[in-house]
Structures are given as C-alpha cells and as structure tokens.
Amino acid sequence: MKAVHTELHRNHDPQFYLVRGVVKRTTEQPERADRLLAGLKAGKHELVAPTAFGQGPRARVHSPEYLNFLEEAWEAWAALPDAGSEMIPNMHPVRNEATYPTHIVGRLGWHTTDTSAPIGPGTWAGACAATDVAVTAAQMALDGEDAVYALCRPPGHHAYRDLASGFCFMNNSAIAAAHLRQRHERVAILDVDVHHGNGTQGIFYERPDVLTVSIHADPVSYYPFVWGHAHERGQGAGLGANLNIPLPLKTGDDAYITALETAARMIHAFAPTALVVALGLDASEHDPLAGLAVTTPGFRRIGAALAQLGLPTVLVQEGGYLSDILGQNLTAVLAGFEEAR
C-alpha cells in the first residue's frame, strides 16, 4: 500500500491544551507524524508526495466564510495589541439570532466549538498540506490504486463545515470522501478513532449519499460528550445514513472486532462503491488519552476487518498520540489490511 506524506505538517506546532482547567502542552505534536512515518518505513510502504489541489476540494466541505477565516486568522490576530502566541477563543456564540462578527476575536469564537484547536502562524499552511495529502490519496484511489494511506496532520474528523474543534481545522476524511463522490455514487466513511467523528457526522448528517459510521468510546463519559450517541441516526434525506457505536471505556480487542462486524453489516446494506477509513490509532491501550484498550495484534485484526469490506479504500490518519507503540500500531493495521486483501 502506498502512503502519502509531506513534512509541511510541521508548520502547525500547537502548544495550548486546556484539560480540566489546567493548561498543558497539547498531545497533537509534530512528533506524532515522525513516529507514524517510522511505522510506514517499518512496513516498507512506498512514500508519495502530495499534489497541491488548491481550494476546490476544501470548498466542497467547508463554507467560504470559514475558509477565509482560517486563511486570514493569524495575520489579523497578530495585529492586535498584546496578542498571545496562539489564538485561543474566549467566547463560543451559540448563534441564536446572531450576527456574523467582523472582529477577529468574534470570528475565532464563532468558528470554534472548544479551546483545543489553537491557531498559530503556520496552522493554515499545515492544515492545507493535510487536505492535499488526503485528496492526493483519494485521487490515487480514483486512478486505480486499491488502497492508499494518507498521513494527515493536523487531524480532521472533529472539524465541521464551519467549525474548528478538538485539534482539527479542516476535515480531511470528509474532503477525501467528497473527492471520491465525484465518481462514486455512494461512499462510506468508517471512523475507528477512539473519539466520535462528530465533525464528519455533522457535515453529512442530512445527506443520503455518504454513510457515516463511527466506533468510539462512549460519549457519556468521554469527549466530545454531546455527539456520538447511538440515537443520532441522521436527519431529513440523511436519516438512517449515520451509525454510532459507542463502546464502554477500556473495551478491548474482541468487543472492538464485534463492533466492526456491526459496522460492516451497515456498510454492506448501504452498498457503497468506495470507503474512507478515518484511521485514529488512539483506541490503543497505551494511548495517553486512555479511552479504549486495543492491543497491537488487535490493530492487525482491525486492518484485516477493514480490508474484508472489499472496497477501494482511502485510509486517512486521524488521532493517535505519543506512545512507544504508535508507529508499530500503524504498521500493524496496514499489514493486517494487506494480508487480508
């Protein structure tokens, strides 16, 4: 399996992370990509540089005002007197009878659901590189590759049409799916990150042509808390095209594989002709965000189960934080996929 990768992710190097009222260094660090790259090299995957696709693929998923905000944000922020070294919102308007703000502090609040997507001087460049990585992988699948891996950083699945959230700015998985939709009538997105893919769900919630399935730690006691529950099934024309499978904290390999079998039945019933896997590795037993308890052999089994869906597949990197086996888990999931194909 070929893998798309660029060093341009280093432009985005966030620091701020607010956890239970305590400011810490974020877990979404450039070193994540170094460890994932080591995992790709261990698996002897051919590395491919991304093509720059410009704004077109991003604009299929994100609103014009949001893309303008992300592009202009740092310059406007840096011009404020006493501006901090990263953009952290101090308001989150709920938008009832609201007016779109023109001031950068207002726009920052408008376009974020939480404080865990800090914007720095290189965030736009890094986030754009990540969407190019995802779209390049999707284009390779359209051009005939059976399966392609996209090493995206920053991740994307918490980003909505016009909201940054949870380390995410642009939704790489959704953008890959929208790119595949040009030639595939029905596309499925299967999110195996430990966190619910709330942004992806939100983007496609009313659409019948993109199935969104997410397996994740139960949001009753885990981020993002207010999305990811089993009763969220889509809306309007999209009713029935969203499936959430919340799992108890510390769920291990066997129960995870059972959840994947449920997801597979839903995907087969939907009958898509292409698949995007939102490939978080933070369900690991050793991940610092401590949600689920999947082992490295468990990731190999997950890879095999993904391959057995039998669809052209784009695997888009989502979460997965610094642990000694982050790279090994990537090697394992891709090896499991290739063995079962």
Query: Which residues contribute to the site for Zn ion (CB under 5 A)?
Result: 193, 195, 280, 282, 319
Comparison of 319 and 336: residue with beta carbon closer to Zn ion: 319
CA–CA dist 84, 187 (Å, integer): 42
Query: Interior CA angle at 215 toward 214 and 221, to 5°?
Result: 110
Minimum CB distance to Zn ion, residue 195 (Å): 4
Residue closer to Zn ion, measured from CB, 193 or 232: 193
Nearer to Zn ion, 73 or 289 (CB): 289
Between residues 238 and 246, which has the closer beta carbon with respect to Zn ion? 246
Nearer to Zn ion, 111 or 216 (CB): 216
Taking CB atoms, the residue at the shortest distance from Zn ion is: 319
Give the distance, in angstroms, between the CA of residue 19 and the centroid of all CA atoms in the same chain: 20
- Report whether 48 contacts 143 (CB < 8 A): no
As measured in angstroms, the least distance from the Cβ of 315 to Zn ion is 15
Is 216 catalytic? The answer is: no
- Measured CA to CA, the distance from residue 258 to residue 101 in angstroms comes to 47
- Given the structure tokens 């989150």, which residue do they identify? 92
Cβ nearer to Zn ion, comparing 77 with 223: 223
Which stretches within 223-271 are classed as H helix? 253-270
**Minimal distance, residue 232 CB to Zn ion, in Å:** 18
Find all residues with CB under 8 Å of 243, minimum gap 6, and list them.
Answer: 211, 212, 213, 214, 233, 263, 266
Provide, rounded to whole angstroms, the least separation between the CB of residue 280 and Zn ion: 4
Choosing from 45, 62, 111, 158, which is the catalytic residue? 158
Q: Is 9 helix (H, G, I), strand (E, B) or coil?
A: helix
Provide the token pair at 111.
Answer: 């376009």
Output the smallest distance, CB 150 to Zn ion, in A. 16
Q: Whole-number minimum distance, CB 216 to Zn ion, in Å?
A: 8
Q: Which value, to the nearest 10 degrees, does the dihedral of the CA atoms of residues 111, 96, 195, 341 take?
A: -80
* Whole-number Cα distances in Å, 97 to 94, 100, 219, 318: 9, 10, 29, 34
Q: How far is the CB of 339 from Zn ion (least distance, A)?
A: 26
Closest listed residue to residue 28, CA positions, set 115, 145, 135, 107: 115
Cα 328 to chain center, whole Å? 20
The β-bridge partners of 212 are 189, 242
Q: Which of 224, 194, 218 is nearest to 318 (CA)?
A: 194
| Nearer Cβ to Zn ion (73/215) | 215
- CA–CA dist 61, 81 (Å, integer): 34
What is the rounded end-to-end Cα distance, in angstroms, of the chain? 11
For residue 19, list its beta bridge partners: 22
Which residues are part of the catalytic machinery? Answer: 158
